[in-house]
Structure 1
Amino acid sequence: MNDAATFWDKIAPKYAQDPIKDMAAYEYTLERTKSYLGYDDRILELGCGTGSTALLLAPKVREIVGADISPKMIDIADTKAKAGSVHNATFRVASAKDAASQKEPFDAVLGFNLFHLVEGMEDTFASVHKMLPPGGYFISKTPCLADRSVGFKRFLFKAMVRPMQWIGKAPYVQFLTHSDLEGALRFAGFEIVESGNFPAISRYVVARKV
């Protein structure tokens, strides 16, 4: 098991219990995401964590597959699906890069609060583009910790993260701007359909394969 999986396994129980910090922003982007999905769609969520978002989206699609690098996160997601009798949601252990590289048909790919934690983000975007059919959607929400919209907090984040990483209390983090994120999506071949900050620190982007 690699270091990232070990880190997320350790915090999985606490992660599962932590409340969403900005429920209004979460609910808004959840509804925006639903508006791009169809009842006949097969969906892949990268970095699904404990499956909360996938399970909320499941009634709106034919099937949703959640992938996460942490086996313990996936165990919790499986337990939630069984407890809620959600039969069209399945979960698997896989990194974002590996999950996006599978030769499976998906109509849309999702990744929420993930890509600032992914090394080689651009390679994953390219794999997602290759996986999707023309017109398929790639919907993401990414903390852009280097963007000016974050204000002075961006300097505090950087100052805090490095020492925490040295003692194993923080994972890999890259400091992106909005233009970094959207530029990487365009370079991979996507057209930006919708974007906004919900909350201010996080860039919500709907991209379409052209």
Structure 2
Amino acid sequence: MDKNVFNKAVKFWDRAASSYDKEEKNDEEKYQKTLNQLAQYLKPEYSVLDFGCGTGLIANEISPLIQQVHAIDFSHNMIELAKAKAQEKQITNVQYRQATIFDDYLKPASYDVILCFHILHLLEPPERAISRMHELLKPEGLIVSVTPCMAEKPLMNGLFSVLYKLGLTPKINPLKLQDLKKLFTDGNFEVTDHHLLPKTSNEYFTVSKKQNIYSSQLKK
């Protein structure tokens, strides 16, 4: 991502941190269904990376279901709020850190599941992050994502483009579902599930399984 674009994004999310939880839980039905679907892919022995964790809304909720969570976000304010909430709830198996997916402290083949909720459409290019997640996952590990496919709503996408130019929103990479699926398949993942979240017209819950690079090349 361009350095200026990255810096603008950091500033935007630092400003938005205090209202982030309220916005995320604005539709309780969608939020609970997302958690219920995610829980199906978690096991008590799992190590999970929450990429773009925000204020820890998801990481804190899933902490009783798994062994540990490493939760990262590039926003300092998001991470500080997440740490405070985890401390208040006495959650000890979630480690929050201000970082990007490319930080060296994240080790290859360390995670059973990587979560990326509402993050892929903000990355440019997203292919680098997909490749990095492939590296960080254990064999047959999963990416579980929620992604707004803005290209499926041209009027909304146009509005966000204007808002970005005014400095009111981060830059958004417009995707369609087929683009999202191609990101994963081109990155040596098998998309095993994808569907719209309730009461949304363009937010897709997807599950993608890591494939061995050599095996995936043979299939092609």
Fold-level match, TM-score > 0.5?
yes
Does the 8 A contact of 2:47 with 2:69 survive in 1?
Answer: yes
CA distance in 2, matches of 1:206, 1:100: 25
- Structure 2 residue aligned with 1:73, among 53, 56, 78? 78
Percent identity of the aligned residues?
A: 29
- Structure 2 residue aligned with 1:121, among 87, 103, 126? 126
- Structure 2 residue aligned with 1:39, among 40, 44, 50? 44
Residue 158 to residue 31, structure 1, CA distance change in 2 (3 Å): same
Provide the residue aligned with 1:196 in structure 2: 195
CA distance in 2, matches of 1:91, 1:71: 11
CA distance in 2, matches of 1:84, 1:123: 35
Alignment of 1:149-160 (within 5 A): 154-160=153-159
Provide the residue aligned with 1:132 in structure 2: 137
Does the 8 A contact of 2:102 with 2:132 survive in 1?
Answer: no
CA distance in 1, matches of 2:140, 2:190: 10
Provide the residue aligned with 1:4 in structure 2: 9
Residue 139 to residue 101, structure 1, CA distance change in 2 (3 Å): farther
Query: Secondary structure of the equivalent of 1:156?
Result: helix
CA distance in 2, matches of 1:200, 1:17: 20
Is 1:162 matched with 2:161? yes
Residue 46 to residue 19, structure 1, CA distance change in 2 (3 Å): closer
Provide the residue aligned with 1:102 in structure 2: 106
Partner AA of 1:208 in structure 2: K
Does the 8 A contact of 1:101 with 1:131 survive in 2?
Answer: no
Task: Quote how far apart the aligned CAs of 1:99 are.
Answer: 4.9
TM-score computed with the length of structure 2 as normaliser: 0.87
Provide the residue aligned with 1:53 in structure 2: 58
CA distance in 2, matches of 1:180, 1:20: 27
Provide the residue aligned with 1:150 in structure 2: none
Aligned residues: 203
CA distance in 2, matches of 1:139, 1:100: 22
Alignment of 1:15-26 (within 5 A): 15-18=20-23, 20-26=25-31
Provide the residue aligned with 1:30 in structure 2: 35
TM-score computed with the length of structure 1 as normaliser: 0.91
Is 1:93 matched with 2:98? yes
1:73-110 residue CA offsets vs partner (Å, 9 max, x unmatched): 00000000000000001111113x42598325111100
Query: Secondary structure of the equivalent of 2:140?
Result: coil
CA distance in 2, matches of 1:188, 1:27: 29
Partner AA of 2:125 in structure 1: G
CA distance in 2, matches of 1:49, 1:20: 13
